[in-house]
Amino acid sequence: MTADPARGRARFGPGSHLLVTGGAGFIGSCFVREILARHDGTRITVLDKLTYAGNRANLAAIEADPEQADRLRFVLGDIADPAVVGPLVEDVDAVVNFAAESHVDRSIHDPEAFLVTGVIGVHVLLEACRREATRAAAGQRATPPRFLQVSTDEVYGSVETGHSREDDRLEPRSPYSAAKAAGELLARSYFVTHGLDVVVTRGSNTYGPYHHPEKLIPLFITNAIDDRPLPLYGDGLQRRDWLHVSDHAGAIEHVLQFGHPGEVYNVPGSAELPNRDVVTRLLDLLGKPWSLVRQVDDRPGHDRRYALDGTKLRGLGWRNRMSFDEGLAATVAWFGANEAWWRAARSGDWDDYYERQYGARLAGSVDAAGG
Ligand code: NAD
Ligand code: TDX
Protein backbone atom coordinates (compact mmCIF):
# COMPACT_ATOMS: atom_id res chain seq x y z
CA MET A 1 0.00 0.00 0.00
CA THR A 2 1.19 3.54 -0.66
CA ALA A 3 2.63 5.68 2.09
CA ASP A 4 2.41 9.47 2.12
CA PRO A 5 5.08 10.89 4.41
CA ALA A 6 3.34 14.31 4.43
CA ARG A 7 0.43 12.80 6.37
CA GLY A 8 2.50 11.14 9.04
CA ARG A 9 3.35 7.49 9.41
CA ALA A 10 1.35 5.16 7.17
CA ARG A 11 0.23 2.13 9.14
CA PHE A 12 0.41 -0.40 6.33
CA GLY A 13 3.13 -0.88 3.76
CA PRO A 14 4.18 -3.36 1.09
CA GLY A 15 3.68 -6.87 2.37
CA SER A 16 0.72 -5.94 4.58
CA HIS A 17 -2.18 -8.35 4.67
CA LEU A 18 -5.75 -7.02 4.78
CA LEU A 19 -9.03 -8.83 5.40
CA VAL A 20 -11.66 -7.14 3.24
CA THR A 21 -15.14 -8.29 4.16
CA GLY A 22 -17.81 -7.66 1.52
CA GLY A 23 -14.97 -7.32 -1.00
CA ALA A 24 -17.04 -8.78 -3.85
CA GLY A 25 -19.59 -5.96 -3.67
CA PHE A 26 -19.64 -2.58 -5.39
CA ILE A 27 -17.32 -0.43 -3.24
CA GLY A 28 -15.35 -3.28 -1.63
CA SER A 29 -14.34 -4.74 -4.98
CA CYS A 30 -13.16 -1.30 -6.17
CA PHE A 31 -11.02 -1.02 -3.02
CA VAL A 32 -9.53 -4.49 -3.67
CA ARG A 33 -8.96 -3.93 -7.40
CA GLU A 34 -7.26 -0.57 -6.89
CA ILE A 35 -4.91 -1.74 -4.13
CA LEU A 36 -3.85 -4.95 -5.85
CA ALA A 37 -3.34 -3.18 -9.19
CA ARG A 38 -0.57 -1.12 -7.58
CA HIS A 39 1.63 -4.20 -7.42
CA ASP A 40 3.20 -3.13 -4.12
CA GLY A 41 3.11 -6.54 -2.44
CA THR A 42 -0.05 -5.94 -0.39
CA ARG A 43 -2.02 -9.15 0.11
CA ILE A 44 -5.79 -9.23 0.49
CA THR A 45 -8.15 -11.89 1.74
CA VAL A 46 -11.74 -11.22 0.70
CA LEU A 47 -14.45 -12.75 2.89
CA ASP A 48 -17.81 -12.48 1.17
CA LYS A 49 -21.08 -14.36 1.48
CA LEU A 50 -21.99 -13.63 -2.16
CA THR A 51 -25.51 -12.46 -1.47
CA TYR A 52 -27.51 -11.31 -4.50
CA ALA A 53 -25.30 -8.16 -4.40
CA GLY A 54 -21.94 -9.94 -4.22
CA ASN A 55 -20.33 -11.04 -7.45
CA ARG A 56 -17.07 -12.88 -8.13
CA ALA A 57 -17.04 -11.22 -11.56
CA ASN A 58 -16.26 -7.93 -9.77
CA LEU A 59 -12.82 -9.41 -9.00
CA ALA A 60 -12.28 -10.99 -12.43
CA ALA A 61 -9.72 -8.38 -13.51
CA ILE A 62 -7.51 -9.44 -10.60
CA GLU A 63 -7.95 -13.12 -11.22
CA ALA A 64 -6.91 -12.57 -14.86
CA ASP A 65 -3.47 -11.26 -13.79
CA PRO A 66 -1.33 -13.99 -12.19
CA GLU A 67 0.76 -11.55 -10.11
CA GLN A 68 -2.36 -9.94 -8.58
CA ALA A 69 -4.22 -13.24 -8.33
CA ASP A 70 -1.34 -14.54 -6.25
CA ARG A 71 -1.95 -11.84 -3.66
CA LEU A 72 -5.72 -12.37 -3.48
CA ARG A 73 -7.47 -15.09 -1.53
CA PHE A 74 -11.24 -15.38 -1.80
CA VAL A 75 -13.17 -17.03 1.04
CA LEU A 76 -16.90 -17.67 0.64
CA GLY A 77 -18.44 -17.13 4.06
CA ASP A 78 -20.48 -15.05 6.47
CA ILE A 79 -19.04 -12.35 8.73
CA ALA A 80 -21.57 -13.48 11.34
CA ASP A 81 -19.91 -16.91 11.54
CA PRO A 82 -17.18 -16.89 14.24
CA ALA A 83 -15.70 -20.19 13.01
CA VAL A 84 -14.96 -18.61 9.63
CA VAL A 85 -13.92 -15.19 10.88
CA GLY A 86 -11.59 -16.17 13.77
CA PRO A 87 -8.84 -17.92 11.79
CA LEU A 88 -8.91 -15.26 9.05
CA VAL A 89 -8.34 -12.40 11.49
CA GLU A 90 -5.39 -14.27 13.09
CA ASP A 91 -3.40 -13.67 9.96
CA VAL A 92 -4.09 -10.03 9.03
CA ASP A 93 -2.86 -6.53 9.89
CA ALA A 94 -6.29 -4.91 9.41
CA VAL A 95 -9.94 -5.71 8.81
CA VAL A 96 -11.89 -3.42 6.46
CA ASN A 97 -15.58 -4.16 6.79
CA PHE A 98 -17.69 -3.36 3.72
CA ALA A 99 -20.07 -6.28 4.29
CA ALA A 100 -23.68 -5.15 4.70
CA GLU A 101 -27.07 -5.34 3.15
CA SER A 102 -26.97 -2.00 1.37
CA HIS A 103 -30.34 -1.19 -0.22
CA VAL A 104 -32.77 1.00 1.73
CA ASP A 105 -35.83 -0.25 -0.19
CA ARG A 106 -35.05 -3.89 0.66
CA SER A 107 -34.64 -2.95 4.34
CA ILE A 108 -38.22 -1.67 4.35
CA HIS A 109 -39.65 -5.04 3.23
CA ASP A 110 -37.16 -7.40 4.77
CA PRO A 111 -34.99 -5.94 7.56
CA GLU A 112 -33.71 -9.09 9.29
CA ALA A 113 -30.61 -9.68 7.17
CA PHE A 114 -29.67 -6.02 7.70
CA LEU A 115 -29.55 -6.60 11.44
CA VAL A 116 -27.78 -9.96 11.32
CA THR A 117 -24.98 -8.70 9.07
CA GLY A 118 -24.94 -5.10 10.26
CA VAL A 119 -24.94 -5.79 14.00
CA ILE A 120 -24.18 -9.46 14.79
CA GLY A 121 -21.70 -9.66 11.90
CA VAL A 122 -19.86 -6.55 13.08
CA HIS A 123 -19.80 -7.97 16.61
CA VAL A 124 -18.23 -11.22 15.41
CA LEU A 125 -15.51 -9.28 13.56
CA LEU A 126 -14.85 -7.10 16.60
CA GLU A 127 -14.58 -10.08 18.95
CA ALA A 128 -12.06 -11.70 16.61
CA CYS A 129 -10.04 -8.45 16.57
CA ARG A 130 -10.22 -8.26 20.35
CA ARG A 131 -8.74 -11.77 20.65
CA GLU A 132 -5.93 -10.74 18.32
CA ALA A 133 -5.29 -7.58 20.35
CA THR A 134 -4.97 -9.78 23.46
CA ARG A 135 -2.51 -12.02 21.62
CA ALA A 136 -0.50 -8.95 20.58
CA ALA A 137 -0.40 -7.74 24.20
CA ALA A 138 0.95 -11.17 25.16
CA GLY A 139 3.67 -10.93 22.50
CA GLN A 140 2.08 -13.60 20.33
CA ARG A 141 1.81 -11.31 17.32
CA ALA A 142 3.61 -8.08 16.45
CA THR A 143 0.72 -5.58 16.44
CA PRO A 144 -3.03 -5.71 17.05
CA PRO A 145 -5.23 -5.48 13.94
CA ARG A 146 -6.83 -2.19 12.97
CA PHE A 147 -10.60 -2.37 12.36
CA LEU A 148 -12.23 -0.03 9.84
CA GLN A 149 -16.02 0.05 9.75
CA VAL A 150 -17.49 1.40 6.52
CA SER A 151 -20.55 3.38 7.57
CA THR A 152 -22.76 5.86 5.76
CA ASP A 153 -24.05 9.44 5.65
CA GLU A 154 -27.52 7.97 6.24
CA VAL A 155 -26.82 7.57 9.97
CA TYR A 156 -27.38 11.34 10.38
CA GLY A 157 -30.91 11.02 9.01
CA SER A 158 -32.47 13.60 6.73
CA VAL A 159 -30.58 16.91 6.87
CA GLU A 160 -32.79 19.72 5.60
CA THR A 161 -30.11 22.43 5.79
CA GLY A 162 -26.41 22.69 6.48
CA HIS A 163 -23.86 19.87 6.49
CA SER A 164 -23.49 17.02 8.99
CA ARG A 165 -20.35 17.02 11.10
CA GLU A 166 -18.93 13.90 12.70
CA ASP A 167 -20.09 14.83 16.21
CA ASP A 168 -23.68 15.58 15.16
CA ARG A 169 -26.43 13.48 16.64
CA LEU A 170 -27.25 10.24 14.79
CA GLU A 171 -30.90 10.05 13.72
CA PRO A 172 -31.23 7.09 11.35
CA ARG A 173 -34.72 6.77 9.87
CA SER A 174 -34.71 3.49 7.90
CA PRO A 175 -34.00 -0.07 9.07
CA TYR A 176 -30.91 0.08 6.83
CA SER A 177 -29.48 3.21 8.41
CA ALA A 178 -30.48 2.14 11.93
CA ALA A 179 -28.52 -1.10 11.45
CA LYS A 180 -25.54 0.88 10.09
CA ALA A 181 -25.65 3.23 13.10
CA ALA A 182 -25.78 0.25 15.47
CA GLY A 183 -22.78 -1.37 13.74
CA GLU A 184 -20.57 1.68 13.94
CA LEU A 185 -21.57 2.47 17.55
CA LEU A 186 -20.68 -1.08 18.51
CA ALA A 187 -17.31 -0.69 16.78
CA ARG A 188 -16.61 2.54 18.63
CA SER A 189 -17.62 0.93 21.93
CA TYR A 190 -14.78 -1.58 21.39
CA PHE A 191 -12.37 1.34 21.08
CA VAL A 192 -13.58 2.85 24.36
CA THR A 193 -14.05 -0.35 26.33
CA HIS A 194 -11.30 -2.59 24.98
CA GLY A 195 -8.87 -0.10 23.46
CA LEU A 196 -9.27 -1.69 20.03
CA ASP A 197 -7.82 0.31 17.13
CA VAL A 198 -11.11 1.26 15.43
CA VAL A 199 -11.80 3.86 12.73
CA VAL A 200 -15.10 4.62 11.00
CA THR A 201 -15.91 6.25 7.66
CA ARG A 202 -19.29 7.74 6.74
CA GLY A 203 -19.45 7.93 2.97
CA SER A 204 -22.06 9.66 0.89
CA ASN A 205 -24.06 8.29 -2.06
CA THR A 206 -21.64 6.39 -4.24
CA TYR A 207 -21.85 5.61 -7.97
CA GLY A 208 -19.65 4.12 -10.68
CA PRO A 209 -18.78 0.84 -12.42
CA TYR A 210 -20.08 -2.43 -10.91
CA HIS A 211 -22.90 -0.62 -9.05
CA HIS A 212 -25.75 -3.06 -8.50
CA PRO A 213 -28.66 -2.14 -10.80
CA GLU A 214 -31.14 -1.88 -7.91
CA LYS A 215 -29.77 1.59 -7.02
CA LEU A 216 -30.96 4.85 -8.64
CA ILE A 217 -28.16 5.59 -11.13
CA PRO A 218 -27.55 2.07 -12.48
CA LEU A 219 -31.28 1.25 -12.42
CA PHE A 220 -32.09 4.28 -14.51
CA ILE A 221 -29.17 3.73 -16.92
CA THR A 222 -30.05 0.08 -17.52
CA ASN A 223 -33.80 0.70 -17.77
CA ALA A 224 -33.21 3.58 -20.19
CA ILE A 225 -30.95 1.44 -22.39
CA ASP A 226 -33.94 -0.95 -22.69
CA ASP A 227 -36.45 1.93 -23.11
CA ARG A 228 -38.21 0.85 -19.91
CA PRO A 229 -39.91 3.34 -17.54
CA LEU A 230 -37.77 5.10 -14.94
CA PRO A 231 -39.59 5.09 -11.56
CA LEU A 232 -38.86 8.42 -9.86
CA TYR A 233 -40.01 8.43 -6.21
CA GLY A 234 -42.34 11.28 -5.19
CA ASP A 235 -41.48 14.72 -6.50
CA GLY A 236 -37.89 13.71 -7.30
CA LEU A 237 -36.54 16.73 -5.43
CA GLN A 238 -34.70 14.68 -2.80
CA ARG A 239 -31.03 15.66 -2.72
CA ARG A 240 -27.95 13.43 -2.59
CA ASP A 241 -24.25 14.30 -2.71
CA TRP A 242 -22.64 12.00 -5.29
CA LEU A 243 -19.26 10.37 -4.64
CA HIS A 244 -17.41 8.39 -7.29
CA VAL A 245 -16.62 4.84 -6.16
CA SER A 246 -12.93 5.27 -6.80
CA ASP A 247 -12.87 8.36 -4.54
CA HIS A 248 -14.84 6.50 -1.87
CA ALA A 249 -12.45 3.53 -1.97
CA GLY A 250 -9.46 5.92 -1.91
CA ALA A 251 -10.85 7.78 1.11
CA ILE A 252 -11.36 4.51 2.98
CA GLU A 253 -7.77 3.52 2.28
CA HIS A 254 -6.61 6.98 3.41
CA VAL A 255 -8.45 6.64 6.73
CA LEU A 256 -7.09 3.11 7.12
CA GLN A 257 -3.58 4.49 6.71
CA PHE A 258 -3.76 7.81 8.53
CA GLY A 259 -6.98 7.94 10.58
CA HIS A 260 -6.66 8.40 14.33
CA PRO A 261 -7.89 5.52 16.52
CA GLY A 262 -11.47 5.94 17.72
CA GLU A 263 -12.27 8.64 15.15
CA VAL A 264 -15.05 8.95 12.58
CA TYR A 265 -14.49 10.57 9.17
CA ASN A 266 -17.15 11.85 6.77
CA VAL A 267 -16.47 11.20 3.08
CA PRO A 268 -18.46 13.79 1.07
CA GLY A 269 -19.14 13.62 -2.64
CA SER A 270 -18.45 16.21 -5.32
CA ALA A 271 -21.99 17.25 -6.37
CA GLU A 272 -25.12 17.76 -4.30
CA LEU A 273 -28.06 17.47 -6.69
CA PRO A 274 -31.80 16.80 -6.68
CA ASN A 275 -32.64 13.39 -8.16
CA ARG A 276 -34.41 15.07 -11.09
CA ASP A 277 -31.18 16.75 -12.16
CA VAL A 278 -29.28 13.47 -11.99
CA VAL A 279 -31.92 11.86 -14.20
CA THR A 280 -31.80 14.73 -16.70
CA ARG A 281 -28.03 14.34 -17.01
CA LEU A 282 -28.30 10.58 -17.43
CA LEU A 283 -30.88 10.91 -20.17
CA ASP A 284 -28.75 13.51 -21.98
CA LEU A 285 -25.73 11.21 -21.88
CA LEU A 286 -27.80 8.27 -23.14
CA GLY A 287 -29.70 10.29 -25.76
CA LYS A 288 -33.03 9.11 -24.29
CA PRO A 289 -36.23 11.17 -23.78
CA TRP A 290 -37.62 12.47 -20.45
CA SER A 291 -40.91 10.76 -21.37
CA LEU A 292 -39.41 7.52 -19.96
CA VAL A 293 -39.58 9.01 -16.45
CA ARG A 294 -42.65 8.06 -14.37
CA GLN A 295 -43.54 9.65 -11.05
CA VAL A 296 -44.33 6.80 -8.64
CA ASP A 297 -45.36 6.51 -4.97
CA ASP A 298 -42.63 7.69 -2.67
CA ARG A 299 -40.35 5.50 -0.54
CA PRO A 300 -41.81 5.36 3.02
CA GLY A 301 -39.72 7.53 5.37
CA HIS A 302 -37.73 8.84 2.39
CA ASP A 303 -34.84 11.01 3.59
CA ARG A 304 -35.08 14.35 1.82
CA ARG A 305 -31.43 15.31 1.85
CA TYR A 306 -27.97 14.13 2.91
CA ALA A 307 -25.00 16.49 3.02
CA LEU A 308 -21.64 15.98 4.72
CA ASP A 309 -19.05 18.40 6.03
CA GLY A 310 -15.67 17.10 4.85
CA THR A 311 -13.39 19.36 6.89
CA LYS A 312 -12.08 16.59 9.13
CA LEU A 313 -11.04 14.28 6.29
CA ARG A 314 -9.50 17.19 4.38
CA GLY A 315 -7.44 17.87 7.52
CA LEU A 316 -6.11 14.33 7.17
CA GLY A 317 -4.94 15.22 3.66
CA TRP A 318 -7.65 13.64 1.51
CA ARG A 319 -9.15 15.31 -1.57
CA ASN A 320 -11.97 14.16 -3.84
CA ARG A 321 -10.62 13.78 -7.39
CA MET A 322 -13.51 12.90 -9.70
CA SER A 323 -16.01 15.56 -10.82
CA PHE A 324 -19.60 14.38 -11.16
CA ASP A 325 -19.75 15.25 -14.87
CA GLU A 326 -16.67 13.20 -15.63
CA GLY A 327 -17.65 10.35 -13.32
CA LEU A 328 -21.21 10.11 -14.61
CA ALA A 329 -20.14 10.10 -18.27
CA ALA A 330 -17.60 7.35 -17.53
CA THR A 331 -20.24 5.37 -15.61
CA VAL A 332 -22.75 5.57 -18.45
CA ALA A 333 -20.02 4.44 -20.85
CA TRP A 334 -19.10 1.55 -18.53
CA PHE A 335 -22.67 0.25 -18.38
CA GLY A 336 -22.91 0.57 -22.16
CA ALA A 337 -19.78 -1.53 -22.57
CA ASN A 338 -20.60 -4.11 -19.88
CA GLU A 339 -24.07 -5.26 -20.73
CA ALA A 340 -23.31 -8.89 -19.90
CA TRP A 341 -22.35 -7.86 -16.36
CA TRP A 342 -25.54 -5.94 -15.60
CA ARG A 343 -27.86 -8.33 -17.39
CA ALA A 344 -26.49 -11.10 -15.16
CA ALA A 345 -27.07 -8.89 -12.09
CA ARG A 346 -30.66 -8.40 -13.27
CA SER A 347 -31.32 -12.15 -13.21
CA GLY A 348 -32.05 -14.68 -10.44
CA ASP A 349 -34.61 -13.17 -8.10
CA TRP A 350 -34.49 -9.81 -9.93
CA ASP A 351 -37.91 -10.10 -11.60
CA ASP A 352 -39.59 -10.94 -8.26
CA TYR A 353 -37.82 -8.07 -6.57
CA TYR A 354 -38.71 -5.69 -9.39
CA GLU A 355 -42.36 -6.67 -9.37
CA ARG A 356 -42.59 -6.29 -5.59
CA GLN A 357 -40.80 -2.94 -5.58
CA TYR A 358 -42.21 -1.37 -8.74
CA GLY A 359 -45.18 -3.39 -10.06
CA ALA A 360 -47.98 -1.52 -8.27
CA ARG A 361 -45.99 1.72 -8.26
CA LEU A 362 -45.61 1.75 -12.04
CA ALA A 363 -49.22 0.67 -12.55
CA GLY A 364 -50.32 3.74 -10.56
CA SER A 365 -47.64 6.08 -11.92
CA VAL A 366 -48.20 9.47 -13.50
CA ASP A 367 -46.27 11.45 -16.05
CA ALA A 368 -43.27 13.04 -14.30
CA ALA A 369 -43.72 16.57 -15.57
CA GLY A 370 -40.54 18.45 -16.31
CA GLY A 371 -37.26 17.32 -17.72
P1 NAD B 1 -23.03 -4.00 -1.94
O2 NAD B 1 -24.41 -4.42 -1.56
O3 NAD B 1 -22.71 -3.79 -3.37
O4 NAD B 1 -21.97 -5.03 -1.37
C5 NAD B 1 -22.07 -5.65 -0.13
C6 NAD B 1 -21.19 -6.89 -0.15
O7 NAD B 1 -21.23 -7.50 1.15
C8 NAD B 1 -21.65 -7.96 -1.15
O9 NAD B 1 -20.54 -8.48 -1.84
C10 NAD B 1 -22.29 -9.03 -0.26
O11 NAD B 1 -22.22 -10.33 -0.82
C12 NAD B 1 -21.45 -8.89 0.99
N13 NAD B 1 -22.14 -9.37 2.20
C14 NAD B 1 -23.40 -9.06 2.62
N15 NAD B 1 -23.67 -9.70 3.77
C16 NAD B 1 -22.55 -10.42 4.10
C17 NAD B 1 -22.21 -11.25 5.19
N18 NAD B 1 -23.08 -11.50 6.18
N19 NAD B 1 -20.98 -11.81 5.22
C20 NAD B 1 -20.10 -11.56 4.21
N21 NAD B 1 -20.38 -10.79 3.15
C22 NAD B 1 -21.59 -10.21 3.10
O23 NAD B 1 -22.76 -2.68 -1.09
P24 NAD B 1 -21.86 -1.41 -1.40
O25 NAD B 1 -22.69 -0.39 -2.07
O26 NAD B 1 -20.58 -1.85 -2.00
O27 NAD B 1 -21.61 -0.91 0.08
C28 NAD B 1 -20.47 -1.36 0.81
C29 NAD B 1 -20.50 -0.73 2.20
O30 NAD B 1 -20.49 0.69 2.06
C31 NAD B 1 -21.76 -1.06 2.98
O32 NAD B 1 -21.38 -1.25 4.32
C33 NAD B 1 -22.63 0.17 2.84
O34 NAD B 1 -23.47 0.34 3.95
C35 NAD B 1 -21.58 1.26 2.77
N36 NAD B 1 -21.95 2.48 2.02
C37 NAD B 1 -22.46 2.39 0.76
C38 NAD B 1 -22.75 3.54 0.05
C39 NAD B 1 -23.34 3.49 -1.34
O40 NAD B 1 -23.80 4.54 -1.84
N41 NAD B 1 -23.33 2.36 -2.03
C42 NAD B 1 -22.54 4.79 0.64
C43 NAD B 1 -22.02 4.84 1.95
C44 NAD B 1 -21.71 3.68 2.62
O1 TDX C 1 -36.17 3.56 -8.20
C2 TDX C 1 -35.71 4.49 -7.52
N3 TDX C 1 -36.28 5.73 -7.64
C4 TDX C 1 -35.85 6.81 -6.93
O5 TDX C 1 -36.42 7.91 -7.07
C6 TDX C 1 -34.60 4.34 -6.62
C7 TDX C 1 -33.94 2.99 -6.45
C8 TDX C 1 -34.19 5.43 -5.90
N9 TDX C 1 -34.80 6.63 -6.03
C10 TDX C 1 -34.34 7.77 -5.22
C11 TDX C 1 -34.26 7.50 -3.72
C12 TDX C 1 -33.11 8.38 -3.27
O13 TDX C 1 -33.59 9.70 -3.04
O14 TDX C 1 -33.00 8.05 -5.60
C15 TDX C 1 -32.19 8.41 -4.47
C16 TDX C 1 -31.05 7.42 -4.38
O17 TDX C 1 -31.60 6.18 -4.03
P18 TDX C 1 -30.69 4.87 -3.82
O19 TDX C 1 -29.84 4.68 -5.03
O20 TDX C 1 -31.57 3.75 -3.39
O21 TDX C 1 -29.71 5.36 -2.67
P22 TDX C 1 -29.99 5.89 -1.17
O23 TDX C 1 -31.27 5.40 -0.64
O24 TDX C 1 -29.77 7.36 -1.18
O25 TDX C 1 -28.80 5.12 -0.39
C26 TDX C 1 -27.47 4.98 -0.96
O27 TDX C 1 -26.58 5.90 -0.39
C28 TDX C 1 -26.18 5.70 0.95
C29 TDX C 1 -26.94 3.56 -0.79
O30 TDX C 1 -27.85 2.64 -1.37
C31 TDX C 1 -26.67 3.24 0.64
O32 TDX C 1 -26.08 1.95 0.75
C33 TDX C 1 -25.72 4.27 1.18
O34 TDX C 1 -25.48 4.07 2.55
Binding pocket residue ranges, ligand 2, CB within 6 Å: 102-104, 152, 154, 205, 215-216, 219, 231-233, 238, 240, 275, 299
DSSP-assigned states of every residue in 229-281: -EEEETTS--EEEEEEHHHHHHHHHHHHHHPPTT-EEEE--SEEEEHHHHHHH
On whether residue 85 sits in a domain, the answer given is yes
| Whole-number pLDDT of residue 212 | 98
CA distances from 326 to 208, 243, 285, 322, 323 (A): 11, 12, 11, 7, 5
Residue whose CA is at the smallest distance from ligand 2 atom 23: 104
Question: Has residue 157 been placed in a domain?
Answer: yes
Cα 48 to Cα 23: distance, rounded to the nearest angstrom:
6
Q: Ligand 2 mean position to 216 CA, how many Å? A: 5
Q: Which pLDDT score is estimated for 7?
A: 61
Instruction: Provide the number of structural domains found in the chain.
Output: 1
> Is 274 contained in some domain?
no
If DSSP codes are grouped into helix, strand and coil, which group holds residue 74?
strand
71 and 17 Cβ atoms separated by less than 8 Å: no
Nearest to 346 by CA among 214, 226, 224, 221: 214
Pocket of ligand 1 (CB under 6 A): 21-22, 24-28, 47-51, 53-54, 78-80, 98-100, 102, 117, 121, 150, 152, 180, 203, 205-206, 212
Answer yes or no: is pLDDT of 1 > 80: no
Residue with the nearest Cα to atom 29 of ligand 1?
A: 98
> How close is the Cα of 270 to the center of ligand 1, in Å?
21
Asked if residue 371 has pLDDT above 70, the reply is no
pLDDT of res. 126: 98
pLDDT tens, 223-246? 999 999 999 999 999 999 999 999
Q: What is the mean pLDDT of the chain?
A: 96
Q: State CA 102 to chain mean position distance.
A: 7
On the question of pLDDT at 5 being above 60, the answer is no
pLDDT of residue 180: 98
Residue 152 Cα: closest atom of ligand 2: 34
CA angle 112–118–121, rounded 5-degree value: 100
- Is residue 6, in this structure, part of any structural domain at all? no
**Other beta carbons less than 10 A from residue 130's beta carbon:** 19
Q: What are the tens digits of pLDDT across the range 93-132? A: 999 999 999 999 999 999 999 999 999 999 999 999 999 9
Task: Note down the domain range covering 164.
Answer: 17-208+243-268+302-323
pLDDT of residue 155: 98
Cα-to-centroid distance, 100 and ligand 1 (Å): 4
Domain of residue 50, CATH code:
3.40.50.720
10 Å CB burial of residue 247 (0-12, 13-18, 19+) is buried
Q: Would you say residue 251 lies in a domain?
A: yes
Q: Are the beta carbons of 360 and 231 closer than 8 angstroms?
A: no
The Cα-based distances of 54 to 13, 17, 58, 152, 188 in angstroms read 28, 22, 8, 19, 27
- Distance from the CA of 23 to the center of ligand 1, in angstroms? 8
Atom of ligand 1 minimally distant from the CA of 117: 18
Determine how β-strand 239-244 pairs with β-strand 271-274.
antiparallel
**253 pLDDT above the threshold of 90:** yes
Going by CA atoms, what residue is nearest to atom 31 of ligand 2? 102
Active site residues per annotation: 153-154, 176
What residue type is assigned to position 205 of the chain?
N
Q: How far is CA 258 from the centre of its chain?
A: 20
Domain membership flag for residue 277: no
Q: Could you report how far apart the first and last alpha carbons of the chain are, in Å? A: 45
Beta bridge partners of 271: 242
Question: Is a pLDDT exceeding 70 seen at residue 3?
Answer: no
Ligand nearest to the CA of 24: 1
Give 164's DSSP letter.
Answer: B
Ligand 2 atom closest to Cα of 303? 13
Question: Mind listing the pLDDT tens digit for each residue in 302-355?
Answer: 999 999 999 999 999 999 999 999 999 999 999 999 999 999 999 999 999 999
Going from the Cα of 337 to the center of ligand 2, the distance in angstroms, rounded, reads 24
Helix (H) or strand (E) holding 46: strand 43-48
pLDDT > 70: what percent of the chain? 97
Give residue-wise pLDDT tens across range 136-184: 999 999 999 999 999 999 999 999 999 999 999 999 999 999 999 999 9
- Give me ligand 1 centre to Cα 138, in Å: 34
365 assigned to some structural domain: no
Query: Where does residue 108 fall: left (phi above 0), alpha (psi -120 to 50 degrees), or beta otherwise?
Result: alpha
Q: Which of 11-15, 47-51, 167-171 has the least mean pLDDT? A: 11-15
Nearest CA to ligand 1 atom 41: 206
**Domain presence at residue 1:** no
